[in-house]
Amino acid sequence: MDVMSAAPVIEQLSRETGISTAAALFDKIPPHPVDPVLSPLFRRGGLPRGELVTVTGELSLSCGLATIAAATREQKWCAGIGLGEPSVSSIADLGVDLDHFVNLATPGEDWLRVASILIESFDIILVDPGFAPSASERARLLAKIRERRMSLISLRPLSGSTEQIEITDTRWSGAEHGHGRLQSCLVRARSQTGTHRFLLPGPSGTPASVPAGTLEVVADGGASIAPTTDLGTDPATDTDDDPRWSTITQLRQVISHVG
């Protein structure tokens, strides 16, 4: 894309999202920090603020809790809605500061009401929504999130999200058919930044990067079962459904070319 073709994109951006300058695009509030193992999953290396993120698939709760861990250790308050009864020891294992985590045992049909109250003062909300909100409810929720600059992580697909992390494959190791115990789980996750492999939970309970030796073993096993391997390697493919994001991505490429 050359510099000249950026003009209509910029016009479209300022009309649709109110972003009028490049500075407004790039000097947004910094994202919440996340564990170094998880940060490649996010476009800006951390949990974006003022936006809705979805984490779906098997082990999504572990992934969500691991994502909030670094922020709670920086005194950011986090609440969980509709998570059932989480086990405290695993929350602590994933690195969450227990002094800054609250779990709401409210009925599933009240999640939107509870979330809208919590948005007022909490920094991060982790929610397993009991029902899908209507379009107008969703718009109000997103506006509130944007205004308070807080992060909402949904464990189910929810439209209006800016980043989607989907865990596509899990591979537990250590059980050894009756001769061991579960040690770690190798997951493959797809996000806007491509496909990533890491251990969640790793041997110590926290996320860990894949040791060099296991990579090839996994590559063999992964090829045999999963046709999804080649999906999501191109960052543009997943964002196509959201025109606004694809234009921003294009614009970023333009700006980085110019710079």
Partner 1 sequence: MSDESGRTLVLTVPDWPAVAAAVEHDIAPGRPVAVLHAGKVIAADAPARAAGITAGNNKRAVGYRCPEAHIAVWDEEADNRHFSAGVGALDNLVARFTLLSPGTLAIPLDSLRHGYADEADAVETLVSALVDDTGWEFFPGIADTVFAAVLAAGQARRVEPGQTVDFLSAQPITTLEYAGAEATALIEVFLQLGLRTLGDLARLATKDVNARFGAFGRHLHDLASGRAGAPLADHVRGEQLDVELDLDAPTTRSDTLGFLARQLGADLLAKVRRQALVCTQITIELDAAGGQSSSRTWRIEDMQENAIADRLRWQAEGWLAGVGRGSPPGQNPRTAQPDPQELDIVDEPAPDAEDFSDDGIIALRLIAAELTTPIGATRSLFDENTGQITHTLERLQGLFGPDAVLVPGIQGGWDPAETNLWTPWQQAAVPERSPAAPWPGALHAPRPTTVEHSAVDVLAADGSPVEARPSGLGAAPATIRFPTGQTETITDYSGSWPIESGWWDPNRAVYRTRLQVVTDAGRALLLSKEHGQWYLTGRYR
Q: Which of 48, 52, 55, 77 binds partner 1 (CB under 8 A)?
A: 77
Query: Considering the rule CB under 8 A, would residue 122 count as an interface residue with partner 1?
Result: yes
Q: Which of 48/201 has CB closer to partner 1?
A: 201
Cβ atoms of 247 and 13 within 8 Å: the answer is yes
Q: What's the closest the beta carbon of residue 28 comes to partner 1, in angstroms?
A: 22
Could you give the CA distance from residue 98 to residue 141 in angstroms, rounded to a whole number? 27
Residues contacting 149, CB < 8 A, separation 6+: 29, 49, 50
Q: Which of 224/256 has CB closer to partner 1?
A: 224
Q: Is 126 exposed, middle or buried (0-12, 13-18, 19+ CB in 10 A)?
A: buried
Q: Which of 2, 18, 23, 85 binds partner 1 (CB under 8 A)?
A: 85
Query: Considering the rule CB under 8 A, would residue 220 count as an interface residue with partner 1?
Result: no
Q: Which of 8, 36, 174, 243 binds partner 1 (CB under 8 A)?
A: 174
Query: Considering the rule CB under 8 A, would residue 62 count as an interface residue with partner 1?
Result: yes
Query: Considering the rule CB under 8 A, would residue 118 count as an interface residue with partner 1?
Result: yes
Could you give the CA distance from residue 97 to residue 22 in angstroms, rounded to a whole number? 36
Per-position DSSP letters for 119-147, written without gaps between them: TTT-SEEEE--SSPPPHHHHHHHHHHHHH
| Two tokens, residue 79 | 């609440």
Q: Which of 101, 111, 198, 245 binds partner 1 (CB under 8 A)?
A: 101
* Contacting residues toward partner 1, per CB under 8 A: 58-62, 65, 75, 77, 83-93, 98, 101-107, 110, 114, 117-118, 120-122, 169-172, 174-185, 201-205
